[in-house]
Amino acid sequence: MTDEAQKQFEKSPSWDNPQVHQATGVIVAQTNASPNEALGRLIGYAESTDASVDQVAADILAYKIAFT
Looking at residue 51, what is its pLDDT? 94
- For the entire predicted model, the pTM comes to 0.89
How far is 17 from 68, CA to CA, in rounded Å? 23
- pLDDT, tens digit (0-9, with 9 covering 90-100), for 24-53: 999 999 999 999 999 999 999 998 999 999
DSSP 8-class letter at 17:
-
Name the packing angle between helices 18-31 and 53-61 (round to 10°).
60
Name the packing angle between helices 35-49 and 18-31 (round to 10°).
110
